[in-house]
């Protein structure tokens, strides 16, 4: 199997928006992907757009980056922020972090997911049954692991992780805001790095690229914990119909804001932002 087969294998592309969007989640790319190859793959999957990051961890400070941690011998002493160190220690005293089984999480994780989703604007959460089905399906894919944060015996936060070579990808991280005073995300992210980097010997924890759709403060949070930005270039494939729609949306942007539901307008804005970033970071 060649590199092209591995890059376009189904398990390294995350399907979103009902299969209409594909996001590459495989090993980090130095070189850009062939647009023709992406077009054929997207057409085969029935997707309207695809995104990927290339020229990963380059020297240029582009408006596109992943949040990563690769600090050798990571522990609380390596966290420069005094306030972050305090919250990590406080969180570890009040919370317990341990690995959980995906089948268990499928049956017991929905309340955390739904309560976390209540914090997001322009986001429509899955139903309980869909959450259960999707989470159970991950148990069948090699390399997927999950960590849960517990207060006493109650799950209050979790992370879905996947091994990718010498990297650990944080695919999802959720917490119940009712327990925010216990700072469960500090314990969760600290233990992800401490366990997989220091204890297991992986080289990097990758929390994925900056958000385009949802407004979150995860980036500042991770930087306080000693993470960094790994800059790269954004690859973007759009079908001709989507490109035409976005061209019109740029002309009638104000009208779109008035007429579209807030969620649909937020998605439109994220696509326009992706176009701008892909253009700004494109190799000439």
* pLDDT tens by residue, 85-115: 999 999 999 999 999 999 999 999 999 999 9
Structure tokens at 105: 């999480």
Q: What distances in angstroms separate CA 76 from CA 88, 129, 190, one per listed residue?
A: 8, 39, 8
Residue 106 has a pLDDT of 96
Residue 263 has a pLDDT of 86
Residue 12 has a pLDDT of 87
For residues 96 and 94, what is the distance between their CA atoms, to the nearest angstrom?
Answer: 7
Q: What distances in angstroms separate CA 236 from CA 21, 35, 252, 274, 282, one per listed residue?
A: 11, 9, 22, 8, 10
> Nearest-CA neighbor of 106 among 148, 152, 153?
148
Low-confidence ranges of the chain (pLDDT < 50): 1-2
For residues 74 and 168, what is the distance between their CA atoms, to the nearest angstrom?
Answer: 15
Residue 1 has a pLDDT of 39
Q: Is the pTM of this model over 0.75?
A: yes
């Amino acid at each position: 199997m060649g590199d092209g087969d591995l890059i376009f294998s189904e398990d390294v592309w995350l399907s979103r928006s009902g299969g209409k969007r594909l996001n590459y989640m495989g090993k980090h790319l130095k070189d850009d992907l062939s647009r023709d190859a992406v077009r054929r793959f997207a057409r085969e999957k029935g997707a309207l757009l695809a995104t990927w990051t290339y020229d990963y961890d380059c020297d240029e400070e582009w408006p596109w980056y992943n949040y990563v941690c690769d600090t050798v011998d990571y522990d609380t002493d390596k966290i420069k922020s005094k306030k972050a160190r305090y919250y990590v220690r406080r969180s570890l005293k009040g919370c317990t972090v341990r690995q959980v089984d995906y089948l268990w999480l499928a049956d017991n994780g929905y309340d955390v997911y739904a309560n976390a989703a209540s914090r997001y604007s322009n986001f429509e959460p899955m139903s309980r049954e869909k959450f259960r089905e999707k989470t159970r399906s991950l148990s069948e894919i090699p390399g997927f692991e999950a960590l849960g944060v517990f207060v006493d015996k109650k799950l209050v936060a979790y992370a879905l992780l996947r091994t990718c070579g010498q990297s650990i990808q944080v695919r999802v991280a959720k917490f119940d805001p009712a327990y925010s005073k216990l700072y469960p995300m500090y314990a969760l992210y600290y233990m992800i790095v401490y366990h997989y980097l220091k204890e297991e010997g992986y080289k990097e924890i990758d929390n994925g690229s900056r958000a385009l759709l949802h407004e979150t403060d995860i980036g500042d949070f991770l930087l306080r914990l000693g993470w960094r930005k790994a800059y790269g270039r954004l690859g973007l494939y759009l079908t001709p119909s989507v490109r035409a729609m976005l061209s019109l949306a740029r002309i009638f942007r104000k009208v779109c804001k008035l007429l579209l539901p807030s969620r649909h307008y937020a998605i439109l804005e994220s696509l326009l932002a992706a176009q701008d970033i892909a253009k700004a970071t494109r190799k000439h």
